[in-house]
Amino acid sequence: MKIYKIASDIIEQIKEYLTKSEGYDSYEDFVDNQSMGDCQGIVYDICHHFPIAKKIFGEVEIDGSYYDDDGDEQNLVTHHWVKIGNKYYDFSKGTLKNHIEFDSIYDPEISENEIDKYQK
């Protein structure tokens, strides 16, 4: 039980840090105001201030598709997220809000339903 408490405390500390450092009143506002491309800076900031977090870079499968600059249809986007202990967290789900329907956009834990979309 103590391990769970420590992990949940770290997650709440990260959420609080991101909210305050970006000048928002709530974590929900922070997520709602994210844009495509913000994930890299968010993950860098987390790993810099919370060394327990490890940066993960890969691709995420989106719902639907888009056409890249060459006119080719794509269903993967590059993305950054973190690993803390043996769990994966995405504090920048808001950057993908127009491309993926998450179980909960405000819960940074990557759920079992979502994990298959994340590819390292």
Query: Could you report the per-residue pLDDT of 68-108, keeping only the tens digit for each?
Result: 899 999 999 999 999 999 899 999 999 999 888 888 999 99
The model's confidence at residue 4, banded by pLDDT at 50, 70 and 90, is: very low
Per-residue b or e along 62-96, where b marks 16 or more CB atoms closer than 10 Å to that residue's CB: beeeeeeeeeeeeeebebbbbebeeebbbbbbbbb
Query: Could you report the per-residue pLDDT of 72-81, keeping only the tens digit for each?
Result: 999 999 999 9
pLDDT at 94: 94
* Residue 28 to residue 9: CA distance in whole angstroms: 18
Query: Could you report the per-residue pLDDT of 25-53, keeping only the tens digit for each?
Result: 999 999 999 999 999 999 999 999 999 99
| Domain region containing 88 | 2-119
Split into its structural domains, the chain has a count of 1
